[in-house]
Amino acid sequence: MIALPLALLLLQQVPPADAEGAIDWDKEFGVEEQVRDPVTGELPVDPYEQSNANAGARPFSGTEMAATFGGQDGIRAIAERTVDLSHEDPRIAAIFAARDMVRLKRTLFEQFCYILNAGCDYTGRDMAKAHESMGATTRDLNALVENLQQAMREQGVPFAAQNRFLSKLAPMSRDITAK
């Protein structure tokens, strides 16, 4: 009975389309539209100094670890799988929802590849900057580690080598988790 008048009332509340177009709210509030790079597909970031030191760990020496992880192809698969698992993980999905997944997959791959001495340079930001104001807890970090462990396991990396790699990442917790 009351559905029709209510619908009419609601329709009246909607402003005409041309009226909305008259005011550019993005401009009013100084919002700049983020456009993905046509080549890389990544969103732009503020400039920063690029350095392998940003990777947060010294690389392994020799080629053994890189080979154990299946070279750059294996490492890329592990990095991307870790990001995908975390993006779908209800424990930490909220943290990843606001991230540029394209850029994250690339920089995580570069970081893993650099640390595993598989012939990459790391071009991302340092760990403190990259995790600034993220508010990550140890519980979040543990969830990420479990996803990385799953990705490494799926790629056939032996457990001892998984732990050797984690030994390079574990000290970064100080920069990753919120104090």
The binding site for other proteins (CB under 8 A) comprises 90-91, 137-139, 141-143, 145-146, 149, 159-160, 163-164, 166-167, 170-171, 173-174
Q: How far apart are the first and last CA of the chain?
A: 57
- The type of residue at 20 is E
CB of 64 to other proteins, least distance (A): 13
Instruction: For residue 8, give every residue at least 6 positions away whose Cβ sits within 8 Å of its Cβ, in sequence order, or none.
Output: none
Structure tokens at 163: 């732990």
CB of 166 to other proteins, least distance (A): 5
**Cα-flanking dihedrals φ and ψ of residue 31, to 5°?**
-85, 125
What is the C-alpha R_g of the chain?
A: 22
Q: Is 87 or 91 the residue whose CB approaches other proteins more closely?
A: 91
CB of 54 to other proteins, least distance (A): 20
Q: Is 48 or 159 the residue whose CB approaches other proteins more closely?
A: 159
Q: Which of 66, 51, 27 lies closest to 123, judged by CA?
A: 51
Q: Is 51 or 163 the residue whose CB approaches other proteins more closely?
A: 163
CB of 114 to other proteins, least distance (A): 18
